Amino acid sequence: MATHAPEVPTTAPAPRHAPGPSEPSTQPTTTEPSLQDSPTKPSLQVRNAAQVLSQSSNAVFFGGAGVSTESGIPDFRSEAGLYHAEHTYGHSPEDLLSVTFAGENPELFFTYYKENLVHLSARPNPAHQALANWESNGPLSAVITQNIDGLHQAAGSRTVHELHGSIWRQYCTRCHERYTLEWTLNPTNCREPNHVVPQCPACGSMVRPDVTLYGEALPEGVMEASAQAIAAADTMIVGGTSLAVYPAAGLVDFFRGSTLILINTSPTPLDHRADIVITQPIGRAMEDIRSLLDE
């Protein structure tokens, strides 16, 4: 959600090489279902992705809010999300979640945040589970996520680079004392008159979530670690992200492996750079890829 790019430790990314003759053909990259495809049969793109992953020795995943929509957490750059924010709160999500807005109107900031970004009952879906499985038993070396919901860790992923922080961590803006999410959700820990803004009992200042707001820099070291993981990978899966939030979206430029796989229910600005484009809900797509790999 930030706008400032920290320095990343690599020089200009090298161009990716095209798949060689011994590698599986990932062409054509059409996103339309072919005649052989059926609702029950994995699409050509899904089968190609499974073949690529079966031969990968170092894959990375880079995802966004779309990874968690099948867990019941809405994204907010979709039309419904934007409309909901404007209609209910009178502002866009970018405004409501900006550092300026949080400082000037903490009541509305916390109301929107708690009502829209905290989903205590959400559970990992097949996309989170497949990624955790491929880290333990397959080629996946890292998950890089713009999500703040902690669902990759809940599914069992261990190497998770959280570009925008996590709802599960909170700290006092003055004395830096740490608090749990449950603590901040308890109205008795929040200040008068609305009991929505958490207040540090040690120093009386506001307690805020450890998430990156629009206008803030990304957490130190996370961009660097993510760029390094991507630069070392032979395969990159990008899923459930509009690729509209920079500098996170620019991470794709660090990929110099052979196959870029894109999974999204709607077109993205980088579809033309992908070797395989899968236009499907990511949970279903990942479940199908996992089944093919397990065969």
β-pair partners for 287: none
Tell me the C-alpha distance between 99 and 222, whole Å: 20
Q: Does 264 bind ligand NAD (CB under 6 A)?
A: yes
Tell me the C-alpha distance between 212 and 147, whole Å: 11
Window of 54-62, 84-92, 200-208, 248-256 that interacts with Zn ion by CB under 5 A: 200-208
Which H/E stretch holds residue 169? strand 165-172
Which residue's CB is nearer to ligand NAD, number 257 or number 281? Answer: 281
What character string, x for contact with ligand NAD (CB under 6 A) and - otherwise, covers 149-178?
x--------------x--------------
Number of other CB atoms surrounding residue 22 within 10 Å = 6
Q: Which of 4, 84, 164, 176 is catalytic?
A: 164
Give long-range contacts, CB 8 A cutoff, 24+ apart: 14-23: 14/256, 15/256, 16/255, 16/256, 16/257, 16/258, 16/260, 17/256, 17/258, 18/258, 19/258, 19/259, 19/275, 20/258, 23/52, 23/55, 23/258, 23/259
Are 139 and 235 in contact, with CB atoms under 8 Å apart?
yes
Which residue's CB is nearer to Zn ion, number 205 or number 228? Answer: 205
Window of 39-47, 104-112, 195-203, 264-272 that interacts with ligand NAD by CB under 6 A: 264-272
Amino acid sitting at position 77? R
Which residue's CB is nearer to ligand NAD, number 147 or number 184? Answer: 147
Window of 39-47, 54-62, 199-207, 236-244 that interacts with ligand NAD by CB under 6 A: 236-244
Tell me the C-alpha distance between 84 and 73, whole Å: 14
Which residue's CB is nearer to ligand NAD, number 126 or number 258? Answer: 126
Q: Does 49 bind ligand NAD (CB under 6 A)?
A: no
Window of 8-16, 166-174, 181-189, 217-225 that interacts with Zn ion by CB under 5 A: 166-174
Window of 15-23, 51-59, 226-234, 261-269 that interacts with ligand NAD by CB under 6 A: 261-269
Q: What are phi and psi of 280, to 5 degrees?
A: -155, 160
Q: Does 191 bind ligand NAD (CB under 6 A)?
A: no
What character string, x for contact with ligand NAD (CB under 6 A) and - otherwise, covers 84-113?
------------------------------
Are 227 and 7 in contact, with CB atoms under 8 Å apart?
no
Buried b (16+ CB within 10 A) or exposed e, 200-212: beeeeebbbbbbb
Are 250 and 292 in contact, with CB atoms under 8 Å apart?
no
Q: Which of 53, 60, 143, 148 binds ligand NAD (CB under 6 A)?
A: 148
Which positions ≥6 away from 226 have C-beta within 8 Å? 62, 142, 144, 161, 163, 251
Q: Does 200 bind Zn ion (CB under 5 A)?
A: yes
Q: What are phi and psi of 106, to 5 degrees?
A: -60, -30
Which residue's CB is nearer to Zn ion, number 172 or number 230? Answer: 172
From Zn ion, ligand NAD, none, interface partner of 240 (C-beta below 5 to 8 A by class): ligand NAD
Active site (annotated) includes residue 164 = yes
Enumerate binding residues for Zn ion (CB under 5 A): 172, 174-175, 177, 200, 202-203, 205
- Chain residues binding ligand NAD by CB under 6 A are 1, 64-66, 68-70, 73, 75-78, 81, 146-149, 164, 240-242, 244-245, 263-266, 281-282
Q: Which residues are identified as catalytic? A: 164
